[in-house]
Amino acid sequence: MWTAAKIKNHIEKIDDDKLFSTRDFLSYGPRPAVDQTLWRLVNAGIIIRVARGLFIKKDAAIPSAFEVAKAKAEAFGRCIVTSGLQAARDLGLSNGNSSKSKDSSHGDAEPNVSEVAYATNGRTSSFRFGKIIIKLIGTSPRKLGLKDDAVNAVLRALWHHGKKACLPETISQATNRLDRVQRQELRDAEGLMPYWLQKCFQFFRKEPKRTKKKRMDFNWGWAYFPKLE
């Protein structure tokens, strides 16, 4: 009874639109007692379970996939940023758009189930949020240190693709939404890039050259962009 009373009192003090997790209540009693109390509150319609271990109050607006992923990560002391996989999808460099439909032709796979991915400092995991599979991809500190903006989204996307990103067509597609200032910022970020990507973006004032296999010559680089005088 003491555990249930403490949990109910805690929930009453939470902002109406704020997500909360099972882990927020573990100081009030053993895990089975906490789970049982939350299960009863869900059945009573007082709270809504939006994902495994995550809840909102009954009158709260349904959160976005990003808000759910962020709350899930923070419950375990982790952070999230846009993953290279998701950045590539958003820029049209991977099959699918910002979410990827599951192939419903495989046995038990559900139709109309999409997937979004975020990079995180920890092991890779995934969980269900309605019709969305949210994937948290374990990522190196070097990549997590990149800002979550348009310029670094391009860098993440090309980094995710690997050396095959060193094709003029791919780089053009990835950068065609950037303005002149953002392209300069991308140049300035060269020190954050792996060596092979730095070679792609070395500044040479000459036309691109391609090999017989139509793969970019590494002497090609920033000349693909307009000159910044």
Q: Where are the domains of the chain?
A: 2-57, 65-142, 162-224
Of 91, 89, 83, 88, nearest to 101 by C-alpha is 89
State residue 60 phi and psi, 5-degree precision.
-75, 155
CA 48 to chain centre: 24
**138: which strand partners?**
120
The tens place of each residue's pLDDT in the chain, 229 residues long, gives: 689 999 999 999 999 899 999 999 999 999 999 999 999 999 999 999 999 999 999 999 999 999 999 999 999 999 999 898 888 888 888 644 344 444 433 445 566 778 899 999 989 999 999 999 999 999 888 888 888 888 889 888 888 888 766 777 788 888 888 888 988 888 888 788 888 888 776 643 334 455 555 554 444 444 445 444 4
Residue 51: half-sphere exposure toward Cβ, Cα within 13 Å: 27
Q: Which helix (H) or strand (E) holds 69?
A: helix 65-75
Which residue's entry shows tokens 């940023």? 81
Specify the pTM.
0.71
Separation in Å, CA 189 to CA 6, 62, 85, 198, 212: 50, 37, 20, 9, 30
CATH 1.20.1250.20 assigned to domain 2-57? The reply is no
